[in-house]
Amino acid sequence: MNPDMSVDELLNPRIHIVCGKGGVGKTTVSAALALVAARHGRKVCVVEVDRRGSLPKLFGAKSPSYEPSELSPGVWGLNVLQEEALAEYLNVQYHMQRISRVLTSSHFVDYITIAAPGLKDILVLGKIWYLEQDRSADGKHYDFDTIIVDAPAAGHMAAFLSAPMGLSDAVQVGPIRRQSDWLVEMLQDTARTVAHVVAMAEEMPVAETVATSAALHDRLHIAQGAAFVNGLYPKIVGASAERAVEDGSEARDGLIRAGALVNLTLDDGDLDALADYARFLSSRRKIQARHLRALRKGIDQPILKLPFLFSSGIALPEIEMLADDIEQQALEL
Amino acid sequence: MNPIAEITGHKEIIVCAGAGGVGKTTTAAAIAVRAAAGGKKTVVVTIDPARRLASSLGLKELSNEPTQVSKRKFAAAGLDLKGELHALMLDTKSTFDEVVLRYAPTEQQARRIIANRFYRNISGTLSGTQEYMAMEKLYELHAGGAYDLIVIDTPPTRNALDFLDAPRRLTDFLESRVLRWFLLPYVKAGGGFMRFANVAAVAFLRVVKRIVGGSVLDDTAEFFANLDGMYDGFKARARDVAALLQSETASFVVITSPAEESVLEATYFASRLNEAHLAFGALVVNRVHPRFGDGSGATPRQQARLAQGDEAARRLAQLLDNEASFMRIVRLEEKNLKALARKVPRHRWVHVPYLEREAVDLDGLAVIAAHLFA
């Protein structure tokens, strides 16, 4: 990626695939990226794959349906269920409505999954292709400028994205074969698709992010945008404050006097607690910095740092904050 | 008494369960390290393909058969080893092959199944297979009688309960009436369509043939034909495994973080264990933000005035801001955990705080064990 990447460059191709290990905050990053795009006047659709609808909750909206629905101004959401993608495919291609109740039973879906590994993934990616081509099953035109895919967790991610390339030999002909060729083109075209990795500054997530990034490059040949690192403790306490509060420090009395000036009475116990929290913050920050260095060594793309949120949950205000952070850092890159 | 120490002393099987990313594998390894050091012949079984467990035990790699950790490695970490420690990483495919070999009436039939392409796809694609094979491996190790204690971690599923339900999903699939009814015309006619087969089934077969190709259908037919007569074996074993998990010898350790989703999952899991008559041994709460005192009680107004004051005032403002931020998280975590305490009594809890180092070697595992057994 260009070193003088601006927000426009970050949002450049239409399809953004957000990848990472489970629990690192892919959905949060997808939502924040969607807000950034919407702020820049783009009509965005976030595609979740087989989720329980955590994304709409972030926007305070109801669970999204199989077709796009607007979650907040300019941001649309869509939950693609593999079972539904399969049912839709059978109905459209083979007019199987008649016995489709049986065909969408879990055993049949299991059967197809085993018989043709990767088929479900191709159908889900196909749904994204249809969105990109602005051909939806309900006949409406959405005309999305940006499509953000909240990809399945890392374990399944490679299989998901490589499905069109490694389709079982059995499926060499027919509509599925044709479609997988289109999907490979879509995913590998740098003007159409970019992948972003999401990590946390911890040992395992960093190791997995490096592996994911390598897989995207070496095996999947998908262009990469930024690496997002979630949950970084911000520098709330400066070095001089950290030193001042230490037990035995001369500056400690100064802190007590400063409190007294605003009618805040602090005893030694209070200051000990302040010191403990300052030390805890600094030790966590040191550990995170170490893992961040390891990540930087392991990947080539620019790193966007997102803060640990000291809040009771993640909702729109928090996503707005993260979107601010992304915008600001994209300008500085 | 510490609940982890109690079950490690009295049980033969410890199953570590919990949502993904809460430290299951590390907890299982730490329990095993301590048990082995204390004199038990212990084996730890991991499902996680991560290489970290192997390297933290000082092993190059793990296989589907137990590998022993040398006494020298323990000594190097300053640990006295009175028992033995073995480790293995579940290989779903080989374990499944062993199961097929055991239940097939003839070895020839087993070989035919193992060579079948449809069968080979099952272990990589059908969810539940890994869980089933984990339980199978557990049963086999226990029946072999070579170990005093087996510590097993469960697959990193999105839902911690999957491993309780999943084995049934595999047997249900293999036995599926609907599926067999639809495939029957194909199986009976030896690969061709039966002339008088039911219309829906023929339509179904045509579609499947279009999607996956005729050769896959042939593989499927052969697979189900060869599997005939083996279901009873599968089912009997599944019952035996369930009975073993419900017996006096097994205990469950649930691992959670204080985050809301993780706590919700642990709470639900605790009640499910209860319903399924499985023994709840201990709850491990990982990575709880520490509480230092009760907070200085500065008002937002006082904070704002300090932030605009002299150098000492600004320093104090930073410190207070930091404390207030962490206190918010501490209170939130306490609230989350309080809900869990209604399901799991506190004397079953063990806390592992944020640690300076991650468990990358035996030393690190021993540090975690010290907290688990404190």
- Share above pLDDT 70 across residues of chain A, in percent, rounded to a whole number: 88
| Cross-chain residue pair B50–A204, CB shorter than 8 Å | yes
Minimal Cα distance from B175: which residue of A? A107
Residue A148 main-chain phi, psi, to 5 deg: -110, 125
| Cross-chain residue pair A170–B124, CB shorter than 8 Å | no
Strand order, beta sheet including A303-307: A69-72, A75-80, A44-49, A146-150, A15-19, A193-200, A224-232, A303-307
Given pLDDT bands bounded at 50, 70 and 90, which one contains residue B189? low
Q: Which residues of chain B does A90 touch, with a Cβ-Cβ cutoff of 8 Å? A: 207
CA separation for the pair B79, B72 (Å, rounded)? 9
pLDDT in tens, A105-159: 667 777 877 877 778 788 888 889 989 998 866 678 889 999 999 987 756 777 7
pLDDT value of residue A174:
61
* Packing angle of the helix pair B92-103, B117-125 (nearest 10 deg): 130
Give strand pairing partners of A75.
Answer: A44, A72
* Chain CA centroid to CA A266, Å: 43
The distance of B322 to chain A (nearest Cα, Å) reads: 6
The distance of A239 to chain B (nearest Cα, Å) reads: 9
Nearest in space to B198 (alpha carbons), one of B212, B208, B184, B210: B184
pLDDT in tens, A185-224: 999 999 999 999 999 998 888 988 999 999 999 989 999 9
| Cross-chain residue pair B125–A244, CB shorter than 8 Å | no
- Reported as type and span, the H/E element at residue B180 is helix B177-188
| Cross-chain residue pair A112–B208, CB shorter than 8 Å | yes
Over range B184-213, report the average pLDDT: 64
Contacts of B243 (CB under 8 A, 6+ apart): none
pLDDT value of residue A106:
66
CA separation for the pair A144, A177 (Å, rounded)? 26
* Chain CA centroid to CA B92, Å: 13
Mean pLDDT for chain B?
A: 86
| Cross-chain residue pair A237–B125, CB shorter than 8 Å | no
pLDDT value of residue A137:
65
CA separation for the pair A217, A237 (Å, rounded)? 39
Number of neighbouring beta carbons within 10 Å of residue A293: 12
* Packing angle of the helix pair B92-103, B129-144 (nearest 10 deg): 70
pLDDT value of residue A41:
93
Its ipTM equals 0.88
A170, pLDDT greater than 50: no
| Cross-chain residue pair B118–A170, CB shorter than 8 Å | no
Q: Which residues of chain A does B212 touch, with a Cβ-Cβ cutoff of 8 Å? A: 112, 115-116, 119, 168, 170-171
Over range B270-291, report the average pLDDT: 91
| Cross-chain residue pair A310–B298, CB shorter than 8 Å | no
- Reported as type and span, the H/E element at residue B87 is strand B84-89
pLDDT in tens, B56-88: 888 888 889 999 999 999 998 889 999 999 999
Residue at token pair 């058969």 = B65
- Share above pLDDT 90 across residues of chain A, in percent, rounded to a whole number: 53
Minimal Cα distance from B22: which residue of A? A23
CA separation for the pair A162, B369 (Å, rounded)? 40
CA separation for the pair B353, B29 (Å, rounded)? 17
CB-closest option in A103, A203, A275 to B358:
A203
Do residues A37 and A29 touch, judged by C-beta distance below 8 A? no
Q: Can you give the pTM of this predicted structure?
A: 0.87
CB-closest option in A105, A117, A264 to B178:
A105
**What is the secondary structure of A87-133 as a DSSP string?**
HHHHHHHH-GGGGHHHHTSHHHHHHHHHHSTTHHHHHHHHHHHHHHT
Nearest in space to B158 (alpha carbons), one of A65, A158, A50: A50
Give the tokens for residue A299: 């990947």
Nearest in space to B88 (alpha carbons), one of B40, B135, B123, B53: B53
Given pLDDT bands bounded at 50, 70 and 90, which one contains residue B314? very high
pLDDT in tens, B340-369: 998 889 999 999 998 877 777 899 999 999
CA separation for the pair B284, B291 (Å, rounded)? 18
Strand order, beta sheet including B84-89: B67-68, B84-89, B41-46, B149-153, B13-17, B250-256, B280-288, B349-353
- CA A287 → CA A21, A148, A219, A284, B174, distances in Å? 20, 31, 32, 5, 48
pLDDT value of residue A21:
79
Q: Which residues of chain B does A57 touch, with a Cβ-Cβ cutoff of 8 Å? A: none
- Reported as type and span, the H/E element at residue A293 is helix A268-298
| Cross-chain residue pair B204–A312, CB shorter than 8 Å | no
Alpha helices in B213-310 (DSSP H): 214-227, 231-246, 260-275, 300-307
Q: Which residues of chain A does B353 touch, with a Cβ-Cβ cutoff of 8 Å? A: none
* Chain CA centroid to CA A74, Å: 18
pLDDT value of residue B157:
59
The distance of A322 to chain B (nearest Cα, Å) reads: 17
pLDDT in tens, B88-122: 999 989 999 998 998 888 999 999 999 998 898 88
Give A170 or A232, the one with higher predicted confidence.
A232
pLDDT value of residue A180:
83
Give the tokens for residue B166: 């999943």
pLDDT value of residue A31:
96
Mutation choice for B interface testing from A123, A172, A274 by most B CBs within 10 A = A274
Do residues B137 and B43 touch, judged by C-beta distance below 8 A? no
Give the tokens for residue A283: 């030790």
Q: Which residues of chain B does A277 touch, with a Cβ-Cβ cutoff of 8 Å? A: 292, 319, 322-323, 326
CB-closest option in A112, A238, A284 to B318:
A238
**Pairing mode, strands B349-353 and B280-288:** parallel
Minimal Cα distance from B21: which residue of A? A23
Instruction: Supply the Cα-derived Rg of chain B in whole angstroms.
Output: 26
Nearest in space to B8 (alpha carbons), one of B35, B46, B42: B35
- Reported as type and span, the H/E element at residue B363 is helix B362-372
| Cross-chain residue pair B122–A114, CB shorter than 8 Å | yes
Do residues B255 and B22 touch, judged by C-beta distance below 8 A? yes
Over range B129-144, report the average pLDDT: 89
Mutation choice for A interface testing from B288, B315, B332 by most A CBs within 10 A = B315
Do residues B12 and B148 touch, judged by C-beta distance below 8 A? yes
Give the tokens for residue B193: 């369509």
CA dihedral (A129, A130, A131, A135) in degrees, to 10, reads 150
| Cross-chain residue pair B316–A116, CB shorter than 8 Å | no
CB-closest option in A108, A115, A277 to B220:
A115
